[in-house]
Chains A and B, each alone.
Chain A
Amino acid sequence: MNPKLVLDVVRFELRRSLSIGRITIWTILVLFPVALVATVRLFGENREDNPETWGLILYFLIPEVVCLLGLLLWATPAVSTEVEGQTWIYLAMRRSGRNLVLVGKYATAVLWSCSAAWAAATGCTLLLGSTGGFKLWLVICVLSFLSCLAHAALYLIIGTIFFRRTMVTAVFYTLTVEYGLAFVPAMANRLTVNYRLRGLLAEWMDWETARTVTENLGGQESAWLHIIVLLTISAGLVMASVLRLTWTELPTQQEG
C-alpha cells in the first residue's frame, strides 16, 4: 500500500470535513473537558491539588470520553456514510480504492480525534498548573494516541461488519465491553482497551488506584506488554477490516 496515497486520502477527507458542523464538534470536544476542569477548580468544594485525583479525572475525560466521541463520529461511519450516500461505488471502482480509503479514513479518524484530545489535554494541564505538570500532560497525550489507535480500529471493524446501524452497534459495544466488561474482575477484561490504558496510566504515573481490579488480582503487566497488546490489537483489527471489506459485496445503489 502506497503511503503517499493514504496521505492523499487523509488530505481529501480532512478537506471534505472543513464544514462548520465538524469544526464546531471539534471545538466542543476540546472545550468540554477544559470547561469541566475549570468549573471544578473554581467552584468545587474539594479543590485540593491532588495530582492523582486530577490525573484520573483527566484520563477519564480525555483518552476515554473525548477520544471515543471523536472516533464514534469519524471511524465508525467510515464505510456506512459512503454506502448510505451512495458514493461507495466511486471508491470501490478504483484499483485499490477499498483498502486505501479504509486505511486513509482510519488515519484521519486517529488524527482528528487525537488533535482534539491533545488540545484538550493542553488546556486542562494549563488550568491545573503545577498540579499535573508536564509528565501528566505527556502521559495523557500518549494515552490519547494509543486510545485513538485501538478504539478507531475497533470501530472500523464494527463499521465494516455492520455497515447498517453502525453507530448503534458501536455505542452498544462501548457501553457493554469497554465500560461494562472492563470493570468486571475477570480475565476477560484483559481483552479490553480500557484495561490496557489504565494499566499504562498506573505504570507511568505510579498510581496504584488507576489499576483495574483484574490487574490487582491477576498480577501486574509491564508497560511494554500493554503497548504491544494495544498496537497488535490496532494493527490486527485494521488488517481484518481491510480483508473484510475487500471481499464484501456492499450495496452500490438502487437496482435498475
Chain B
Amino acid sequence: MIQLDQVSKLYGTVIGANDLTIRLEPGAYGIVGPNGSGKTTLINLLTGQLKPTLGRVSVLNHDPWRNRKILRRIGLCPATDVLYPNVSAHEWVTYQARLHDLSRTESRQAASESLELVGMTDHMHRPMGEYSLGMRQRTKIAQALAHQPELLILDEPYNGLDPVGRHQMTQLLIRLSEQGTSLLFASHVLHEIEEITSSFLLIHGGRLLASGTAQEIEQIIADTPQEVVLIGIDVPKLIPHLADQAWVDSIQLLAERTQLRIGLRDPGTLYHCIADWISKEGLQIDEFQTADSNLTAIFESLLRHHRGESK
C-alpha cells in the first residue's frame, strides 16, 4: 500500500524527513511523534503535497507527486481547522466531493451520507461559522470520507472532540478499518492510537525510530538505555545497592538528596530488584518516574536505540 525508499525531505537547510524507509501493507497504522517530529511532512509526502528531495514514495502503487489521480483513492483529514463562516457543512463537503469529479447528484448524496456517518446530520445545513471546534472536526472527517477512499489519512483526528465525540470517532474508525479502509493516523497521544490499532510508526526528528506492535516497541524500550527517577526521603539509601550493579551507568542525587536519577542499561532488572530493596529495608519512596510516563522520554530512549546504544 505504502512504500518509502530512503526518502528525505529538506526545507532549505532544515530536514523534515530523514532517510525514511517504510513498507506498509493495507491495514491500520498509527504515526506517533511529538509536535514537530515530522508527522505532517510524512503525510504531505504521502499525499503528493511535497516532492521528496531524495528517495522514492509510492502510495497504492503510484507516485503521488507525479500522479495526482491517485488522490481520488485517498482521503485526508488535516490537522488544520477549516472555516468558511457562511457556508454550511453540506455545501462544503458537496463541493469537496465535486472536486473529485463526482456528479452533482452523487456529490450531494455522498456529502449527506458522510456527514451522517460522523453524526452531523442535524447541523449540516447550518453555516460553519456557528459550529463548535468538535463539529468542525467532524465535518473535516466527513470531507475525507465522502468519496469513499481506500486509504484514509488522519492528522490529529481527535483535536477538539469531547469524550463522547472521541468515543464515537474511535468506533467509526474501528468500523472503517473492519470494512477494509486502510487507516494511517498521526497523533502525539499514544493511547488514542492504541484503541484502534496495535501497529505504530514512531517518528522523531524526521526519522523513523521504531515500527511494530505495542509489545515490540515496549521490548525495544526495555532493551534501551534509559533514565529513571526515584523521589522520596530515603532515596540515598539505595545508592549502595545500585553502585554494585554492572547495568547501572550513572547515579545522580538531586533536589536536596530527595531525588535519585539513575542511568541504566537494563531497566527490567531494576524493576525486579527495586521492589525487594524497598520492602526489605522499609524505605520511603514516594514516586518512581520511568520513560513510559511521557512520550518525550520514550522518544529519547528510542533515539538512543536508534543510535545503536542498546545492549
Q: Do A8 and B71 contact each other (CB < 8 Å), given the known contacts A90-B78, A93-B47, A94-B100?
A: no
- Interchain CA distance A253-B51 in the complex, whole Å: 16
Contacts between the two chains (Cβ within 8 Å), count: 93
* Contact indicator per residue, chain A 244-256, by CB within 8 Å of chain B (1) or not (0): 0000011011111
* CB-defined contacts of B84 to chain A, threshold 8 Å: 16, 87
Which residue of A has the minimal Cβ distance to B35?
A: A256
| Chain B interface, number of residues (Cβ within 8 angstroms) | 42
Residue B16 is within 8 A (CB to CB) of chain A in the complex: yes
* One of A42-50, A96-104, A163-171 contacting the partner: A96-104
Contact of B80 among A9, A86, A96 (CB under 8 A): A86
Residues of A within 8 A of B51 (CB): 249
Please give, as numbers and ranges, the residues of chain B lying within 8 Å of A2 by CB-CB distance.
Answer: 101
Does A217 count as interface, using CB distance less than 8 angstroms?
Answer: no
| Most interface-central of A15, A94, A252, A256 (chain B CB within 10 A) | A256
Restricting to B30-67, which residues have a CB under 8 Å from any CB of A? 35-41, 44, 47, 49-51
Q: Give Cα A89–Cα B47 distance, bound, in whole angstroms.
A: 10
Closest A residue, CB atoms, query B75: A93
Q: How far is the CB of A232 from chain B (nearest CB, A)?
A: 28
Distance of A214 from chain B, by nearest CB (Å): 43
| B91 contact set on A, CB distance < 8 A | 12, 15
Residues of B within 8 A of A239 (CB): none
Asked whether B13 is an interface residue with its Cβ less than 8 Å from the other chain, the reply is: no
- In the complex, B117 has a CB within 8 A of chain A: no
- Indicate whether B155 reaches chain A with its CB closer than 8 angstroms: yes
Tell me the smallest distance from the CB of A194 to a CB of chain B, in Å: 35
Query: How many of A's residues come within 8 Å of B, CB to CB?
Result: 31
Which of B39, B41, B49 has a CB less than 8 Å from the CB of A92?
Answer: B49
A252 adjacent to B78 (CB under 8 Å): yes
Could you say which of A85, A91, A253, A255 contacts B99, with CB atoms under 8 Å apart? A91
**A16, A19, A86, A89: which has the most chain B beta carbons within 10 Å?**
A89
Q: What's the minimum C-beta distance from B24 to chain A, rounded to whole angstroms?
A: 19
Per-position contact with B for A174-194: 1 when CB-CB < 8 Å, else 0?
Answer: 000000000000000000000
Contact among B74, B79, B85, B188 for A253, CB-based, below 8 A = B79
Interface residues of B in 114-151 (CB under 8 A from A): 143
Alpha-carbon separation in the docked complex, A151 to B69 (Å): 32
Q: Mark A7-23, 1 if CB is under 8 A from B, else 0.
A: 01100100110110000
| B95 sits at the interface (CB 8 A) | yes
A residues 217-256 near B (Cβ < 8 Å) are: 249-250, 252-256
Knowing A90-B143, A249-B49, A249-B50 are in contact, say whether A5-B98 is a contact too (CB < 8 A).
Answer: yes
Closest to A255 in B: B40
| A17 to chain B: closest residue by CB | B86
Say yes or no: is B81 at the interface (Cβ < 8 Å to chain A): yes
Give Cα A236 to B104, complex, Å.
Answer: 30
Residues of B within 8 A of A100 (CB): 99
A-side contacts of B95, CB under 8 Å: 8, 12
Chain A residues closer than 8 Å to B98, beta-carbon distance: 5, 8
What's the Cα separation between A19 and B129 when bound, in Å?
12
Whether B99 and A5, one on each chain, are in contact in the complex, defined by CB atoms closer than 8 angstroms, is: yes
Whether B196 is near chain A, meaning CB under 8 Å from some CB there, is no
Instruction: Pick from A15, A87, A252: contact of B44, CB below 8 A.
Output: A252
Q: How far is the CB of B130 from chain A (nearest CB, A)?
A: 15
Q: Does B181 contact A (CB under 8 A)?
A: no
Task: Across the interface, name the chain B residue whose C-beta is closest to A101.
Answer: B99
Residues on B with beta carbons closer than 8 Å to the beta carbon of A250: 49
CB pair B41–A89 under 8 Å, yes or no, is no
Q: Name the distance in Å between A25's Cβ and chain B's nearest Cβ.
A: 16
B71 A16 Cβ-Cβ under 8 A: no
Asked if B80 contacts A252 (CB within 8 A), the reply is: yes
* A13 and chain B: residue at smallest CB distance: B95
Provide the bound-state CA to CA distance between A64 and B80, in Å.
38
The answer for the CA separation of A16 and B91 in the assembled complex, in Å, is: 10
Chain A: CB-nearest residue to B72: A95
Contacts of A92 in B (CB 8 A): 49
Known: A12-B95, A95-B69, A253-B79. 10 other contacts (CB 8 A): A19-B86, A87-B84, A93-B76, A97-B99, A249-B49, A252-B80, A255-B16, A256-B35, A256-B39, A256-B155
Q: Kindly list the 10 A-B residue pairs having the minimum CB-CB distance in the complex, ordered from nearest.
A: A94-B99, A86-B80, A253-B80, A256-B40, A89-B78, A12-B95, A93-B76, A95-B72, A97-B99, A256-B39
6 A-B residue pairings within 8 Å (CB atoms):
A12-B91, A16-B86, A18-B86, A254-B40, A255-B40, A256-B39
